[in-house]
A and B are shown apart, each in its own frame.
Chain A
Amino acid sequence: MKTRLGTLKTYGIIYLQFIKNCFIAQMEYRTNFILGIAVEIAYLLSKLLYVVVVYKSDLHIGDIPPDGILMFVGTYTMMTGLYSGLFFTNFVRISDYVRTGELDLLMVKPISLQFMVSLRYIDLGMPIPNLAAGITMVSIGWSALGIPVTAYHLFLFVLYLLSALVITYCLMIIPAILSFWFVNTGGLAGIFYAIWDANNMPMPIYPRLIQRIGVYVLPFLVITNFAPLSVMERLDGGLMLWGAIVPILLLVCVRLIWRKAIKNYSSASG
């Protein structure tokens, strides 16, 4: 047990080093840093148009009023920010590592390869607009719906956000891992981004079949729906449990696929 904790601590320290390195590197190219933020703002604007439509047309989904929908859009925006900051750069690079054989060099490092490859780069600029806008939207929706701000509610919300973060990692890394078998997975990644955007709206807007698939088969819809649904007390016991189990299941799956993928690595052209 003690060694386990020790390992965890070591990885924590290494992760902090990653953050520090990335911060230094990004401060060196400040124009890029600012342009990255500007690009995210443009994306954010295109998503905020949905909010405009929701309020202008007074959209109710089932019995969720516009303020409730705002909470979902806010959660989606926050998660997009976290994904772009913590994972996106890494996942894009994985197929390059494989194609160029750069992975050879990373493989010999005395550290988990998956950890190194998938978490090394953290973008500190890109998530700022999304996180700021997302937190604002969630707060506005939260208070407009009159949901009490108790420790229990905050705990639930944060718990499902963390679960969402793990699910995001596991799902979005799949196209990247497939690049061990296929050279170009850009098209597949494009499809995953498009599915990701389905989270922009609360899931009751979709037909039952899509909801089932999105919760149980490819659990994209868990990512942004469970946190707001849980504090609105619209999540029954079974789903609450599922929301807590699914990230663990997915982590195990991804770990297994990763091991298979590594065996398939051909160390091309490096």
Chain B
Amino acid sequence: MSIYPKYIRVFKLGVQASMEYRLDFALSLISAFFPIMIQYYIWTAVYGRSGSGQFFGYTYGEMILYTIVAAIVTKIVTTNMDHVIASDIKDGALNKYLVQPANYFGLKLFTMLGQKLFFFTVMLAVLFLVIFYFGNRYAIHIPLENLVCFVAAMALSLILNFLISYTIAAIAFWLSEISYFFEMTGLLVIILSGGVFPIEVFGQTVSSLLNYLPFKYTIYFPSNVINGKLMSSEITEGLLMQIFWIGFMFLVSKLVWRIGFKKYLGLGG
């Protein structure tokens, strides 16, 4: 008997659930366009006025590509899983999972992967079109292996981001009220991950601090793989760091959840 069918089942359910809200997805794509537009004009003004070709270590083309790619990557990797899991903890819905012969972590992970499959594919297609167009326009040559590495980096970043959300969601064991809390943490994670601006903008101290945290490997790193800013040795190193952080966050989340469960009340449900 294999243990996998049940996880494949929730994966398929996740795929189906994601297809249910296609219009919403299309509209969210349109709303992703506006921040890109604003930043595009900001950077055009910044680079247009100054004689020097670099700001925060990026050329104009790299910065524009970063802006576009980071916005799309943010859409791909962010899930509302922290909110879902936190509500499970808070309103006792976790009870029903506890008596099931399945692992809660596994169920949520595969649901998330299923939900993201459709988005992931569509977004990658959009992204490749964008890159093809802008790559030509700003004469940025992106080698094939970067594209392959990018897909790998994105897959890893999706898992890493899930682990971060899963760990943060455990705070719900200690909170009495969760309504807004995870909106705040979600936003802070996006900022620290480089989803608004590349982390160099924060200045030397903060960005070197962020080297010791997992966040930049979810948005900042994949975006820089594709805009041609990183050398291939740096890409390999980054991929290894992603794997390291996935392992590390996996252990942290196990630990936090074990401690949290001692606090679990199972109210409601």
Measuring CB to CB, which residues of chain A are less than 8 angstroms from any residue of chain B? 29, 31-32, 35-36, 38-39, 41-43, 45-46, 49-50, 52-53, 56-61, 184, 186-188, 190-191, 193-195, 197-198, 200-201, 205-207
Contacts and interface: CB of A to CB of B under 8 A. Distances in A.
A45 B41 contact: no
Contacts of B46: 53, 57, 59
Contacts of A42: 183-184, 187-188, 191
Question: Is the contact region of chain B dominated by helix, strand, or loop, or is it mixed?
Answer: helix
Contacts of B27: 187-188, 190-191
B1 interface: no
B209 interface: no
Given A52-B201, A187-B28, A205-B45, A43 B177 contact: no
A59 B201 contact: no
Contact of A38 (B33, B45, B184): B184
B41 A53 contact: no
Nearest to A200: B38
B138 interface: no
A84 to B, nearest CB: 12
B244 interface: no
Interface of B: 23-24, 26-28, 30-35, 37-38, 41-42, 45-46, 49-50, 55-56, 176-177, 179-181, 183-184, 187-188, 190-191, 196-197, 201-202
13 contacts: A36-B180, A38-B184, A46-B191, A49-B191, A49-B201, A53-B46, A56-B56, A57-B50, A59-B49, A60-B45, A61-B45, A187-B27, A187-B28
B177 A31 contact: yes
Contacts of A61: 45
Contacts of A35: 177, 179-181, 184
A184 B188 CA distance: 28
Contacts of A190: 27-28, 31
A43 B188 CA distance: 9
Given A49-B197, A187-B28, 6 more contacts: A38-B180, A50-B42, A52-B201, A60-B49, A190-B27, A194-B31
Nearest to B44: A205
Contacts of A206: 41
Nearest to A31: B177
Contacts of A31: 176-177
A213 B177 CA distance: 43
A229 to B, nearest CB: 17
B45 A59 contact: yes
Contacts of A193: 31
Contacts of A56: 56, 201
Nearest to B190: A46
A197 B184 contact: no
Contact of A32 (B33, B42, B179, B187): B179
B42 to A, nearest CB: 6
Contacts of B191: 42, 45-46, 49
A193 B41 CA distance: 18
Contact of A46 (B24, B41, B180, B196): B196
A32 B30 CA distance: 32
B49 A201 contact: no
A59 B42 contact: yes
Nearest to A190: B31
A191 B42 contact: no
Contacts of A191: 27, 30-31, 34
A42 B180 CA distance: 11
A115 to B, nearest CB: 27
Contact of A184 (B24, B26, B33, B38): B24
Contacts of B177: 29, 31-32, 35
Contacts of A194: 30-35
Nearest to B24: A187
A31 B33 CA distance: 35
Contacts of B180: 32, 35-36, 38-39
Q: Which of A50, A187, A188, A206 has the most CB of B within 10 A?
A: A187
A50 B202 CA distance: 11
Contacts of A205: 41-42, 45
Contacts of A52: 201-202
Q: Which of A36, A43, A60, A194 has the most CB of B within 10 A?
A: A194
Contacts of B176: 31
B179 to A, nearest CB: 6
Nearest to A196: B34
Contacts of B50: 57-58
